[in-house]
Amino acid sequence: MSFSLELSDDQLALKELAHDFSKNEIRPVAAHHDETGEYPWEVIKKAHALGLMNTHIPEAQGGLALSNFEGLLIAEELAWGCTGIGTALEANGLAQAPVILGGTEALKDKYLAPQTETPSMCAYAVTEPGAGSDVQGMKTTAVRKGDKYVLNGSKMWITNAGVADWYFVVALTDPDKKARGGMTAFIVERGWDGVIVGKKEDNMGQRASDTRGLTFENVEVPAENIVGSEGDGWKLAMGAFDHTRPSVAMASVGLARAAMEHAAEYAMERKTFGVPIAAHQSIAFMIAEMAMNIEAGRMLCWKSGALKDAGKRNTMEAAMAKAFCADMAMKVATDAVQVFGGYGFNKEYPVEKLMRDAKIFQIYEGTSQIQRLIISKELFVRNR
Ligand SMILES: Cc1cc2nc3c(=O)[nH]c(=O)nc-3n(C[C@H](O)[C@H](O)[C@H](O)COP(=O)(O)OP(=O)(O)OC[C@H]3O[C@@H](n4cnc5c(N)ncnc54)[C@H](O)[C@@H]3O)c2cc1C
């Protein structure tokens, strides 16, 4: 049997749709949103109308139920346009993933189905001021009172927190157990009493994306808003990453591709010592390295997504894709600035934004260090 990396006609059409959207709707406004930090609602409305958002919502809830792999084709193209806007668009997927994994049909009907009809946002709220990599250090509690839970605590660095209608929140329901089995996941609506949304954070990059803290003060959550069962919080919060890390990694590939294209174009135009700088081997090889690593990164993403679609465990491959592509995008964007010389350091040229935007890929959805921890743990388990 042969092995093929050929995309089907439908997949090619999807990629082209996302690329054209990115070129015509995202790129022209990327600098504006980077400068102002304004949330890209107009882009979101258009992306929603074209079916480029919420693509993994099941058909039963009116969604497209696209495969993980097909989602990757879209993610690369949107990120090629701007990863700040791309993150704003794609963050819904992270909040939806654990609900798709473990939510009841009633919960999916109530919270996912409306998102297929009108553009609306949701957010994944797990990180806390004192618990990022160390999720088990969380302090937010949810105490059962009759048919409700009372939620108290704070979340930090939550993408889309200021614009989301609802949050996927993990809290301790059994603080004595402290760790995994003591965590429960809930859907919490932004409009409920006691939900306090913090100020928009002034971030280094991906500035179109809305990042905020959240505080919960005696928020009453109906028991039917538990995702899965009591004690499933850890499993669902971490399980979601096997679905979303390939896509976040793919977004780093999109950014790196944009940086490489800018660098290659500039290298052929800019002359020093009477020749285009592309004729200097150190510049040409820097761009060759970019191309090599972008291809390698794309293959890791595709493999981790394809494994998920085949119903196989992809935790290690998703972590490999996330770590490799994040580190690769940071290096490619930094080298693109180098290719541009002094112009690379200036906001009039496109690559300094890419360098600022790239950094967050090494931090969110698990830092590059934590991905290596996951890879090594998975390796030891597989080799036992
Ligand atoms: C812009 C932005 C958007 C985000 N969006 C979301 C979101 O939507 N939802 C959400 O829940 N969270 C979100 N996060 C949070 C993000 O996932 C965390 O910031 C990240 O997991 C790191 O946690 P931390 O910031 O607490 O750093 P820490 O965990 O304090 O880590 C600090 C440093 O120590 C290293 N480190 C920590 N532990 C280890 C270890 N065991 N071994 C080796 N090195 C280690 C880390 O790699 C890092 O370099 C977002 C963050 C940002 C900045």
Q: Is the CB of 240 under 6 A from ligand 1?
A: no
**Interatomic CA distance for residues 154 and 156, integer angstroms:** 7
Q: Which residues contact 248 (CB under 8 A, 6 or more apart)?
A: 75, 90, 322, 361, 364, 365
Q: What tens digit of pLDDT does each residue of 170-215 get? A: 999 987 776 678 999 999 999 999 999 999 999 999 999 999 999 9
Q: Specify whether the CB–CB gap between 26 and 42 falls below 8 A.
A: no
pLDDT of residue 384: 79
156 CA to centre of ligand 1 in angstroms? 10
Examine the pLDDT at 140 and tell me if it is beyond 80. Answer: yes
Domain boundaries, the chain: 9-121, 122-231, 235-383
Q: Is the CB of 201 under 6 A from ligand 1?
A: no
365 is catalytic: yes
pLDDT of residue 379: 94
- Residue 350, phi-psi category: left (phi > 0), alpha (psi -120 to 50), beta (remainder): alpha
Q: What is the 3-state secondary structure (H, E, C) of 17-75?
A: HHHHHHHHHHHHHHHHHHHHCCCCHHHHHHHHHHCCCCCCCCHHHCCCCCCHHHHHHHH
Q: Specify whether the CB–CB gap between 83 and 76 falls below 8 A.
A: no
- Token pair for 217: 């003060």
**Interatomic CA distance for residues 157 and 374, integer angstroms:** 22
Q: Roughly what angle, to the nearest 10 degrees, separates helices 27-36 and 83-102? A: 90
Q: Is the CB of 264 under 6 A from ligand 1?
A: no
Which residue from 362, 363, 372, 376 has its CB within 8 A of the most atoms of ligand 1, so it is best to mutate? 363
Ligand 1 atom nearest the C-alpha of 127 is 11
Q: What is the DSSP letter of 248?
A: H
Closest to 168 measured CA to CA, from 97, 264, 220: 97
Q: Which residues contact 225 (CB under 8 A, 6 or more apart)?
A: 107, 186, 187, 188
Q: What tens digit of pLDDT does each residue of 38-53 get? A: 999 999 999 999 999 9
Q: What is the DSSP string of 120-145?
A: -EEEEE--BTTBSS-GGG---EEEEE
pTM of the model: 0.97
142 CA to centre of ligand 1 in angstroms? 23
pLDDT of residue 332: 98
With tokens 């972008």, the residue in question is: 294
What's the rounded mean pLDDT across residues 243-258? 98
What is the CATH architecture of 122-231? Beta Barrel (2.40)
Q: Rg of the chain's alpha carbons, rounded to an integer?
A: 21
Instruction: Give the residue, by CA position, lying nearest to ligand 1 atom 4.
Output: 157
CATH class, range 235-383: mainly alpha
Ligand 1 atom nearest the C-alpha of 130 is 26
| CATH number for the domain running over 9-121 | 1.10.540.10
pLDDT of residue 214: 98
Q: Is the CB of 215 under 6 A from ligand 1?
A: no
Q: Dihedrals φ, ψ of 172, to 5°?
A: -85, 120
With tokens 């931090």, the residue in question is: 363
Which residue from 90, 96, 127, 241 has its CB within 8 A of the most atoms of ligand 1, so it is best to mutate? 127
222 CA to centre of ligand 1 in angstroms? 30
To the nearest 10°, report the CA torsion of 36, 38, 44, 46. -60
Report in angstroms the alpha-carbon separations of 217 from 124, 147, 148: 18, 18, 14
pLDDT of residue 175: 75
For residue 157, the one-letter residue type is: W
369 CA to centre of ligand 1 in angstroms? 10
Residues in the chain: 384
